[in-house]
Amino acid sequence: DVKVTQSSRYLVKRTGEKVFLECVQDMDHENMFWYRQDPGLGLRLIYFSYDVKMKEKGDIPEGYSVSREKKERFSLILESASTNQTSMYLCASSLLLASSGNTIYFGEGSWLTVV
């Protein structure tokens, strides 16, 4: 079974703090994604990566950055956390080729509260 692990399930951070959300997958997937989930808005893509050190902006990248130094690990960074970044963050991974309809697998999510 594919496993996508998000290291922190629940975090409480102060406004202005730098926050790291870590994600690791164990199936040698090329693609990794960070989504944000908010009520009534569904899941919105923040950033994704299709290879080590490669990244592309999603729909809502403002206030976020990412790092992918190793294939299995994809980190989401909030340089200076703000209260409007309080949300549920979901990491996901998949094989590279979209044309084969590869399934995207999700982690269990990280609840971030910024106070």
Interacting residues toward another protein by CB under 8 A? 31, 33, 35, 40-45, 48, 50, 56, 58, 88, 90, 92, 94, 96-99, 101, 103-104, 106, 108-109
- Nearest approach, Cβ of residue 32 and another protein (Å): 10
CA distance 36 to 27: 23
**Residue 71 CA neighbour count, 13 Å, CB half:** 9
State the Cα–Cα distance between residues 67 and 74, nearest whole angstrom.
Answer: 6
Tell the smallest beta-carbon distance from residue 75 to another protein (Å). Answer: 18
SS3 85: helix
Which residue lies nearer to another protein by CB, 17 or 61? 61
Question: Between residues 42 and 69, which has the closer beta carbon with respect to another protein?
Answer: 42
In the structure encoding, which two tokens stand for residue 52, read together?
């080590």
| Least Å from the CB of residue 105 to another protein | 8
